[in-house]
Amino acid sequence: DAKTTQPPSMDCAEGRAANLPCNHSTISGNEYVYWYRQIHSQGPQYIIHGLKNNETNEMASLIITEDRKSSTLILPHATLRDTAVYYCIVRPAGGGNTGGFKTIFGAGTRLFVKA
């Protein structure tokens, strides 16, 4: 069962910010929001994750709403190399029998960055 809803595709102009939304209305208190991306034919690449506070790293920013039912991944200055499928994943903390290994990759959002 997919726990997240993402738009199937989005366009963004090169140099502009790309804002990718994700709906996770059934998220539980101990579940983290992860973002990965997959550039054509390559293995997925970790981008960022968060629990309830906004997070930023060298690749992107993650904005999580106060009720945690949705989030937005922001690529501040999109380049052509950011064209990829972006996956929003909700999963419990930890691993093993707690269900932490249920990292479910849905269909994601296909982001096209255009010159």
Q: Which residues bind another protein (CB under 8 A)?
A: 32, 34, 36, 41-46, 49, 87, 91, 93-96, 100-108
The nearer residue to another protein, 43 or 115, going by C-beta atoms, is 43
Strand order in the sheet with 18-23: 18-23, 70-75, 61-64, 55-56
Instruction: Provide the minimum distance between the beta carbon of 13 and another protein in the complex, in angstroms, as a whole number.
Output: 26
The nearer residue to another protein, 34 or 83, going by C-beta atoms, is 34
- In the chain, beta strands by DSSP E: 9-13, 18-23, 31-38, 45-50, 55-56, 61-64, 70-75, 84-92, 109-114
Instruction: Provide the minimum distance between the beta carbon of 19 and another protein in the complex, in angstroms, as a whole number.
Output: 21
The nearer residue to another protein, 26 or 57, going by C-beta atoms, is 57
b (16+ CB within 10 A) / e for 19-49: ebebbbeebeeebbbbbbbbeeeeebeebbe
The nearer residue to another protein, 13 or 46, going by C-beta atoms, is 46
Instruction: Provide the minimum distance between the beta carbon of 108 and another protein in the complex, in angstroms, as a whole number.
Output: 6
Instruction: Provide the minimum distance between the beta carbon of 84 and another protein in the complex, in angstroms, as a whole number.
Output: 13
